[in-house]
Amino acid sequence: MTEMPRSARDLIESSALAHLVTLNEDGSPQVSIVWVGLEDDEIVCAHLPRNRKVRNIERDGRVALSIETDSLSEIGLREYLVVYGTARITEGGAAELLNRLAQTYIGEGSDFPPMPDPPPGYITRIRVDRIAGVGPWAG
């Protein structure tokens, strides 16, 4: 597991959307935009249905995650973080995590998901294996 620098942690905990890449059964990439946060040293995101990304991770935990910033590097490139990791799925707690993340992504006081009695859902937990991209985290 790679230790994340503070700059990467700050970006993950911001309102920047993340692109989560999982592997389909045939090896092709599947990309989803997700809200992300941190729990301990893992990146987390939540899903109410058992959708394709959940099924892909259950079968093969190799993932990549990218997040673009609003900042430019010294040479004028848009900064972005890429995380390569190993993901696992845990059942339950998705609605609570989505509500916590909504406070960042939608705004304080948000009530999400907007439904009574949401299903327990699934949480993706990503262990960071390697960090890349353009920005202060790229070393």
Q: What is the pLDDT of residues 55-76, one digit of tens each?
A: 999 999 999 999 999 999 999 9
35, two tokens:
């809200």
Domain for residue 56, yes or no? yes
Q: What is the CATH number of the domain that holds 40?
A: 2.30.110.10
Distances (CA, A) of 59 to 24, 25, 30, 48, 53: 9, 8, 13, 18, 10
Domain for residue 101, yes or no? yes
* Extended strands (E) in 35-77: 37-39, 42-47, 62-72
Is the preceding peptide bond at 5 cis, omega within 30 degrees of 0?
Answer: no
Dist CA 46 CA 36 (whole Å): 8
Domain for residue 68, yes or no? yes
Domain for residue 1, yes or no? no
Domain for residue 37, yes or no? yes
Partnered with residue 122 across adjacent β-strands are 47, 91
Residues 11 and 43 sit within 8 Å (Cβ to Cβ): no
Domain for residue 44, yes or no? yes
133, two tokens:
């991209």
Give residue 69's pLDDT. Answer: 97
Query: Mean pLDDT over residues 23-41, rounded?
Result: 97
| In the predicted structure, residue 11 carries a pLDDT above the cut 90 | yes
Domain limits for position 44 = 6-138
Domain for residue 78, yes or no? yes
Dist CA 62 CA 14 (whole Å): 24
Domain count, the chain: 1
Give residue 139's pLDDT. Answer: 67
Domain for residue 24, yes or no? yes
Partnered with residue 110 across adjacent β-strands are none
Give the pLDDT confidence of 95-136 residue by residue, as tens digits: 999 999 999 999 999 999 988 899 999 999 999 999 999 999
